Amino acid sequence: MSENAIDKSGWLNLEINGKPVQMPPGSTVMDAAQTLKVFIPHFCYHKKLSIAASCRMCLVQVEKIPKPVPACATPVSEGMKVWTRSEMALAAQQSVMEFLLINHPLDCPVCDQGGECMLQDAAVGYGKGSSQFQEVKRVVLGKDLGPLVSAVEMSRCIQCTRCVRFSDEIGGQMELGMIRRGDRAEIVPFVGETVESELSGNMIDLCPVGALTSKPFRYQARNWELSRRKSVSPHDALGANLIVQLKRNQVVRVQPFENEAINECWLSDRDRFSYEALNSESRLMRPLVKKDGVLIETDWQEALPLAAARLKNIVERDGGEALGVLISPHATLEEATLMSRLAWTLGCDNIDYRLRQQDFSNTSKDAHVPWLGMPIADVSQLKAALFIGSFLRQDQPLLTARVRQAARHGAAISSLHSVRADWHLPLAHENVVPPSQLAAALAALVVAAHREAKVAQALPKVFDEVTPLENDVAIVRSLMNAPERTTIFLGSFAQQHEHAVLLHALTQRLADYTGTTLAVLPEAANSVGLALINAQPQKGGLNARTMLEKPRKAYVLLHTEAPFDIAQGGTALTALRQADFVLSLSPFRPADEGVLPDVVLPDIVLPIAPFTETSGTFINMEGRVQSFYGVAPPLGETRPGWQVIVALARLLEQPFAETTPEVVRASCLPSADSIAARLSNRIDTALQALPKAAAKETVERVAGVPIYHADPLVRRAPSLQRTALAAPPRVMMNAALATRLNLVKGGAVRIRQSEENDAVTVVLSWVCDETLPADTVRFDMAHPLTAGFDVCGEFHLEAAP
C-alpha cells in the first residue's frame, strides 16, 4: 500500500530522539521506534507475542515521566518526546544489562547460540566492560523437552518467557511455564512431560539466549560458517518460506524466511527439521536396477536406457494405456508438467496426482482448481468458520496457528468431523458423527441454513427426511451472525472421503445459503499447482484409484512412495506387484524391506533431487506461485527430476526442447491470468442421494495422515521420527465397541481387511477414546504398520492373543 493510501487522521504525533513520527492510537513507543528504524535493545518483547515488559532492557526516557519506561509497553501519546540514548535511558539499559549477566554463565565460547545471540550482541552494545558481581552464580538444571528442542543449559535462561508465551498464544497449549520465585524462577515443562507441539522449533528462534537450542543442529556449525539461501517448504500447501543454511554444501539448518503473507516469522517443525532426511542414509546416490529380485546400484548409462527401453517395449506391445503414472503432489511444477507431457506423447492418459482421493465422481470441476479461496493472511482475520472433516493441526500446522489467532480474537470456530478436534483452540460448536453419517450431518446444516436464511426456493427432495437439531441451528447461526469474513473449510478427511463429491456439493449449498466463502484445504505443497497444469486424466484416462483397481502393465512413480502416499494402499501393492515394470523417480531408497509385508520393489529407481537440489516451482493454497533455485549441489549422482525426464524423453525419441531451468519453468508455468481464472471451489455436480447409515455393528474407520508420515522427506527425518507425534498408530475406539470386540485393557487388536486367509494382517495396540462416535475406530494411515490397507472398505477386528 502506498504511503498516501493510509488515512492518518486521528494519528498521534511524537518524537523519538528528535525525529518526528506519526503513529495510530494504541501503538507503543517500540512500534514508533521501529517505524523510525531506531533500535531499542530488548529481550522479552516480540512483535507476535503479548507484551510482558519484564526484561526491562527497552527502558527509555520520556519527557515529563520521572522514571525510565519500557518502550514495549508504553502507549504513544500526542506530543510525546522520547529519548532512547539519553543519560537516563543509557544508565537504565546498562544496569539491566548488568543484572541480566550476573547469573548468566558467560560460556559463549561453548554456547551454540554464540555469534547469533541477542544477549551477546546487547552486552557488547549496551553493557559495561565489567561487573562488581562477586557472588556465586545461580545454577539451573537442564530439562528434557523432547528430541527437537534442547534445554540442557537452562542456567543461560534470562526468564524472558518468550517460549512460555509462544506455547500458550501461538502453539495453543501452554507446554512450558515459569515456576518458583525470584532468582530461583525457572522455565519447566509439565511434570514428566516434554514439548510436543508441532510448532516447537519456533521456541529455538525465539529464545534470545542459548537456553533453548536446536537438538539436531547442536555443535554442527557456527553461525558465521553458514551460507544462507532462500527456498520454499515442500510439505503442506502453505509453502512456508525458508532460509536453508549450508555448511560445506550440506544443509545443516533451516530457519524461517519472514513472510507476513504466508508463514509470518514461524515454521512448523516439519518445515524446520525435515532437512535431516536430505543427508540421511536413505538418500539414493546412484541409480538402482533390480536383478534377480534385488536392487543393485548401477550408473546412469545403464539405468536410463534400460528404463526407456522397458517403457518403450510395453507401450509398443500394449499401448500407452497400459501405463499408469502416479505423481506425488509434492513434486515440482516442472517435474510434473514434463512427466505428464511425456506420458501423453506415449499415448498414456492415466496420469494422476490425487493419490489419497477416493471419490472421482465430480464431473464438473476438472477446469476448476480447488484452493483456499482467499489470501492465507485473511485466515487470521476470520470472524466465524466451520471446518468440515479437517485434521487441521496435523495437515496445516501453521494455518492452524492463524485460525487460533482468529479464535483468540473472538471468532466462532466450529467443526463437523468424525473425531473430536484437537486443534488447541476454543471451539464454538462441534459435531462428531461416524464417517458414513458425515453427509447426513452436513445435510442437516443445509436444511437449518435454508430455514434460517428464509430461502424462497424449496429444497430438493434429497433433504426431505433431514431434520436439523439444535446444534445444527447454532452452527449455522454462528456463521450467519458474524458480520463478515466467514468461511467454510473442506478438510482433508472430507476431500478423501468416499462421498467427497457429495460432501463438497452439500458444502457448496451450505455456503450459498449462509452467505459464506467456501475454502478447500489442499493437501500438499503443490496440489494447487498440479491441478493447474492438469496432471490428471484429460481424455478419459484412468484416475489414481482406477489405474490401481484396473492393474496396468507398467507404472511410473514420480516422488511417489507406494503404498504410503496412496489411499488404496492394499490395492496399490497388489497392482504394483503384478506389473511387468515399475519405474520410480525418487531421491530416496525404497522403503526398507521388512517394514511392510511383501513390499513391492520398483524395477528401476532413478535418483532425482529433493527440493534443495533442484530448481522448481510450487503453487500454494492461495494460488501464489513460488519458484526456487537449488540451494545445494545434487548429492552423489543424483540429478534434478526435470533433467532426468527430459533425458528419458530423448531416449524415447520424444525430445523436449527444454534445456535450462529457466526455459523449463517458462514452458510449464501457467500465466497469472489463467491461474486466477481457474482457481474456484464451485462444484456443479448434481446432488446424489444421501448415503444410508452403515449396517448395525459395522465397524467404520477414520484415518488421518500423521504429520510426520505425510511425505517421503518427513518419514526419513530421524529427529521428527523420535517425537511423540510420530509414534506408531494405535487403534482408538469407545469402550462399548471395545467390549463388543472382547478387547482387554492394554491388549492388542488384530486387523484384517478381508476374511481371506492371505489378507494383510496387522496387530496394533488399542486405546479407549470416548470421544469417538459409536462403532467407529480410528487408526491413521501412511505409517508402515497401516499403509498396506486400503483406507476404506471393511475391517475385521479381533482381540490379538
Partner 1 sequence: MSAFLDFGSDAVLLAGLTGDNWRLKDYVARGGYESLKKILSERIAPEQILAEIKLSVLRGRGGAGFPTGMKWGFMPRGAPEKYVICNADEGEPGTFKDRDILRFNPHAVIEGMVIAAYVMGCARGYNYIHGEIWEVYERCEEAVDEARAAGFIGSRILGSDFSFELFNHHGFGAYICGEETALLESIEGKKGQSRYKPPFPANVGLYGKPTTVNNVETFACVPLIVKNGGQWFLELGRPNAGGTKIFSVSGDVERPGNYELRMGAPFAKLLEMAGGVRDGRKLKAVIPGGSSSPVVPGAVMMETDLDYDSIAKAGSMMGSGAVIVMDETRCMVRCLARLSEFYHDESCGQCTPCREGTGWLSRMMHRIEHGEGRPGDIEALDRIAHDIMGRTICAMGDAAAMPVRSFIKHFRDEFEYHIEHRRCQVADYV
- Please identify, among the stretches 45-53, 332-340, 497-505, 522-530, the one whose residues bind partner 1 according to the rule CB under 8 A: 45-53
135 binds partner 1 (CB under 8 A): yes
Find the shortest distance in angstroms from Cβ 136 to partner 1.
8
Find the shortest distance in angstroms from Cβ 43 to partner 1.
9
Find the shortest distance in angstroms from Cβ 92 to partner 1.
6
Question: Is beta strand 761-768 parallel, antiparallel or unpaired with respect to 700-702?
Answer: unpaired
Question: Is beta strand 486-490 parallel, antiparallel or unpaired with respect to 517-520?
Answer: parallel
Q: What are the grid coordinates assigned to 581, written together? A: 515394470
98 binds partner 1 (CB under 8 A): yes
Q: What are the grid coordinates assigned to 120, written together? A: 551477546
Name the strand (E) or helix (H) holding 282. Answer: none
CA distances from 331 to 88, 353, 554 (A): 58, 9, 20
Q: Which of 48, 53, 652, 761 binds partner 1 (CB under 8 A)?
A: 53
Q: How far is C-alpha 437 from the chain's CA centre?
A: 28
Q: What are the grid coordinates assigned to 346, written together? A: 506415449
Q: Which of 20/182 has CB closer to partner 1?
A: 182
Mapping DSSP to helix (H, G, I), strand (E, B) and coil, where does residue 616 land?
strand
Q: Report whether 151 contacts 142 (CB < 8 A).
A: yes
Nearest to residue 190, comparing CAs of 207, 171, 173, 209?
173
Q: Which of 65/686 has CB closer to partner 1?
A: 65
Q: How many residues lie near partner 1 (CB under 8 A)?
A: 38
Q: Kindly write out the interface string for residues 144-183 of this chain, putting x where it contacts partner 1 by CB under 8 A and - elsewhere.
A: --------------xx-----------------xx-xxxx
Name the strand (E) or helix (H) holding 254. Answer: strand 250-256
Q: Which of 11, 99, 300, 360 binds partner 1 (CB under 8 A)?
A: 99
Q: What are the grid coordinates assigned to 484, written together? A: 463478515
Q: Which of 16, 80, 96, 140 binds partner 1 (CB under 8 A)?
A: 96
Q: Report whether 169 contacts 49 (CB < 8 A).
A: yes
Tell me how far apart the alpha carbons of residues 270 and 397 are, in angstroms, rounded to a whole number.
9
Find the shortest distance in angstroms from Cβ 166 to partner 1.
17
Find the shortest distance in angstroms from Cβ 80 to partner 1.
14
CA distances from 140 to 159, 211, 464, 571 (A): 12, 10, 67, 55
The phi, psi pair for 776, rounded to 5°, reads -120, 130
59 binds partner 1 (CB under 8 A): yes
Find the shortest distance in angstroms from Cβ 279 to partner 1.
40
Q: Report whether 590 contacts 605 (CB < 8 A).
A: yes
Tell me how far apart the alpha carbons of residues 218 and 412 are, in angstroms, rounded to a whole number.
42
DSSP 462: G
Tell me how far apart the alpha carbons of residues 302 and 786 are, in angstroms, rounded to a whole number.
36
Find the shortest distance in angstroms from Cβ 761 to partner 1.
50
String of b and e for 769-786 (b: at least 16 CB within 10 Å)? beebbebbbbbbbbbbbb
Find the shortest distance in angstroms from Cβ 265 to partner 1.
24
Tell me how far apart the alpha carbons of residues 782 and 599 are, in angstroms, rounded to a whole number.
14
Exposed (0-12), middle (13-18) or buried (19+): which is 593, by Cβ within 10 Å? exposed
Q: Which of 70/522 has CB closer to partner 1?
A: 70
**Residue 471's CB: how many other CB atoms inside 10 A?**
17
Q: Which of 67/696 has CB closer to partner 1?
A: 67
30 binds partner 1 (CB under 8 A): no
408 binds partner 1 (CB under 8 A): no
70 binds partner 1 (CB under 8 A): yes
The phi, psi pair for 392, rounded to 5°, reads -55, -50
Find the shortest distance in angstroms from Cβ 133 to partner 1.
7
92 binds partner 1 (CB under 8 A): yes
> Please, where are the H alpha helices in 185-291?
202-206, 269-273
Tally the residues of the chain.
801
Grid cell 505443497 is found at 525
Find the shortest distance in angstroms from Cβ 95 to partner 1.
4
Q: Which of 140/488 has CB closer to partner 1?
A: 140
Q: What are the grid coordinates assigned to 28, written together? A: 507503543
Q: Which of 69/385 has CB closer to partner 1?
A: 69
Q: Which of 168/603 has CB closer to partner 1?
A: 168
- Please identify, among the stretches 46-54, 307-315, 328-336, 770-778, the one whose residues bind partner 1 according to the rule CB under 8 A: 46-54
Q: Which of 24, 25, 63, 75 binds partner 1 (CB under 8 A)?
A: 75
Q: Which of 28/638 has CB closer to partner 1?
A: 28
Q: Which of 44/401 has CB closer to partner 1?
A: 44
Q: Kindly write out the interface string for residues 101-130 of this chain, putting x where it contacts partner 1 by CB under 8 A and - elsewhere.
A: -xx---------------------------
- Please identify, among the stretches 88-96, 394-402, 476-484, 710-718, the one whose residues bind partner 1 according to the rule CB under 8 A: 88-96
132 binds partner 1 (CB under 8 A): yes
23 binds partner 1 (CB under 8 A): no
1 binds partner 1 (CB under 8 A): no
- Please identify, among the stretches 131-139, 379-387, 405-413, 452-460, the one whose residues bind partner 1 according to the rule CB under 8 A: 131-139
86 binds partner 1 (CB under 8 A): no
67 binds partner 1 (CB under 8 A): yes
Find the shortest distance in angstroms from Cβ 61 to partner 1.
12
**Residue 543's CB: how many other CB atoms inside 10 A?**
17
CA distances from 374 to 113, 125, 264 (A): 39, 44, 17
Q: Which of 68/623 has CB closer to partner 1?
A: 68
Tell me how far apart the alpha carbons of residues 558 and 189 are, in angstroms, rounded to a whole number.
42
Q: How far is C-alpha 458 from the chain's CA centre?
A: 41
Q: Which of 100/797 has CB closer to partner 1?
A: 100
298 binds partner 1 (CB under 8 A): no
661-668 vs 641-651: helix crossing angle, rounded to 10 = 80
589 binds partner 1 (CB under 8 A): no
CA distances from 591 to 264, 268, 281, 308, 779 (A): 35, 25, 12, 24, 21
- Please identify, among the stretches 135-143, 427-435, 659-667, 737-745, the one whose residues bind partner 1 according to the rule CB under 8 A: 135-143
Name the strand (E) or helix (H) holding 87. Answer: helix 87-102
Q: Which of 55, 76, 267, 599 binds partner 1 (CB under 8 A)?
A: 55
Find the shortest distance in angstroms from Cβ 91 to partner 1.
8
Find the shortest distance in angstroms from Cβ 138 to partner 1.
7
Tell me how far apart the alpha carbons of residues 19 and 84 are, in angstroms, rounded to a whole number.
12
Cα Rg for the chain, rounded, in angstroms? 28
**Residue 9's CB: how many other CB atoms inside 10 A?**
4
Q: Which of 92/713 has CB closer to partner 1?
A: 92
Q: Which of 90, 106, 154, 185 binds partner 1 (CB under 8 A)?
A: 185
Mapping DSSP to helix (H, G, I), strand (E, B) and coil, where does residue 291 land?
strand
68 binds partner 1 (CB under 8 A): yes
238 binds partner 1 (CB under 8 A): no
Q: Which of 24, 121, 133, 227 binds partner 1 (CB under 8 A)?
A: 133
Backbone φ/ψ region at 493: left (φ over 0), alpha (ψ -120 to 50), beta: alpha
Find the shortest distance in angstroms from Cβ 63 to partner 1.
16
66 binds partner 1 (CB under 8 A): yes
641-651 vs 300-318: helix crossing angle, rounded to 10 = 60
Find the shortest distance in angstroms from Cβ 140 to partner 1.
12
Q: Which of 1, 5, 124, 136 binds partner 1 (CB under 8 A)?
A: 136
Q: Which of 105/320 has CB closer to partner 1?
A: 105
Binding site for partner 1 (CB under 8 A): 51-57, 59, 66-68, 70, 73, 75, 92, 95-96, 98-100, 102-103, 132-136, 138, 158-159, 177-178, 180-185
